[in-house]
């Protein structure tokens, strides 16, 4: 199944390079969102906690603008039936998840680099904690976004439904990641952050398990 999922990911990657469905919208959104924040701040210095919060706000809305494409593009092009005929539901979900994981990691790496270059309060004291938060947060974001994208792909008002449905599901993850990011700015140790880390790990495991269990029902109409 792993090889087949990887082949599906490669198909999506080649397709993305040719059609630029997600990459362009994500890149534009990152630039626009960070520019708007910089313009609104002006010459004022924002606090560390606000910087950490805004970092995840940009990540959340960027994910909302691009990650739904994994399934929505198949639905819009009418190729969902083709996928159903060539792969099992778990292969499809894994392939789409790999694509979204890589997209979310690349996208958030760019956001993190831009933040560290443009926001003076974006200074990480405990880099290992920040890195772990970044990795776990991205996994949770990719898993949740992928399964929500599969749910909304067949709906009429996809554009509205995606952030509306994602918000309550992603809220526990985003809030905990904001807290962990602030801990990493403060230089808090792993020991002190273990409760929040346990929440994020638990969230990732629950979402991943639930997604694989539910996807079969979502995929088969």
Residues within the interface to other proteins (CB under 8 A): 3-4, 7-8, 10-11, 14-15, 18-19, 77-79, 81-82, 84-91, 95, 220-221
**What is the sign, positive or negative, of the torsion defined by CA atoms of 192, 194, 200, 203?**
negative
CB of 78 to other proteins, least distance (A): 4
Which has the closest alpha carbon to 165: 176, 153, 175, 177?
153
Q: Specify the residue, 50 or 155, whose C-beta has the smaller distance to other proteins.
A: 155
The answer for residues whose C-beta is within 8 angstroms of residue 32's C-beta and 6 or more apart is none
For residue 95, what is the enclosing H or E element? helix 89-118
142 DSSP 8-state letter:
H
Q: Specify the residue, 23 or 50, whose C-beta has the smaller distance to other proteins.
A: 23
CB of 89 to other proteins, least distance (A): 7
Q: Specify the residue, 117 or 213, whose C-beta has the smaller distance to other proteins.
A: 213
d(CA 174, CA 170): 6
CB of 104 to other proteins, least distance (A): 22
CB of 94 to other proteins, least distance (A): 11
d(CA 168, CA 97): 20
Cα 110–chain centre separation: 13
Q: Specify the residue, 9 or 134, whose C-beta has the smaller distance to other proteins.
A: 9
Q: Specify the residue, 66 or 95, whose C-beta has the smaller distance to other proteins.
A: 95
79 DSSP 8-state letter:
-
CB of 214 to other proteins, least distance (A): 15
d(CA 53, CA 177): 9
Q: Specify the residue, 20 or 194, whose C-beta has the smaller distance to other proteins.
A: 20
CB of 23 to other proteins, least distance (A): 14
């Amino acid at each position: 199944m792993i090889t087949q999922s990887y082949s599906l990911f490669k198909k999506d990657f080649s397709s993305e390079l040719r059609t630029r469905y997600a990459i362009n919208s994500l890149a534009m959104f990152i630039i626009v969102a960070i520019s708007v924040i910089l313009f609104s701040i002006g010459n004022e210095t924002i606090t560390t906690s606000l910087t950490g919060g805004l970092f995840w706000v940009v990540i959340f809305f960027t994910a909302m603008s691009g990650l739904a494409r994994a399934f929505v593009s198949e639905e819009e092009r009418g190729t969902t039936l083709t996928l159903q005929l060539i792969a099992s539901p778990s292969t499809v979900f894994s392939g789409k998840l790999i694509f979204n994981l890589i997209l979310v990691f690349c996208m958030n790496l760019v956001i993190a680099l831009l933040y560290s270059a443009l926001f003076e309060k974006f200074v990480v004291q405990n880099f290992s904690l920040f890195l772990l938060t970044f990795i776990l947060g991205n996994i949770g974001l990719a898993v949740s976004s992928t399964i929500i994208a599969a749910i909304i792909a067949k709906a009429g008002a996809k554009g509205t439904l995606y952030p509306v449905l994602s918000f309550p599901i992603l809220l526990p993850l985003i809030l905990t990641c904001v807290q962990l990011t602030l801990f990493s700015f403060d230089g808090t140790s792993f020991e002190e952050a273990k409760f929040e880390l346990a929440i994020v790990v638990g969230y990732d495991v629950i979402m991943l398990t639930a997604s694989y269990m539910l996807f079969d029902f979502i995929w088969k109409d």
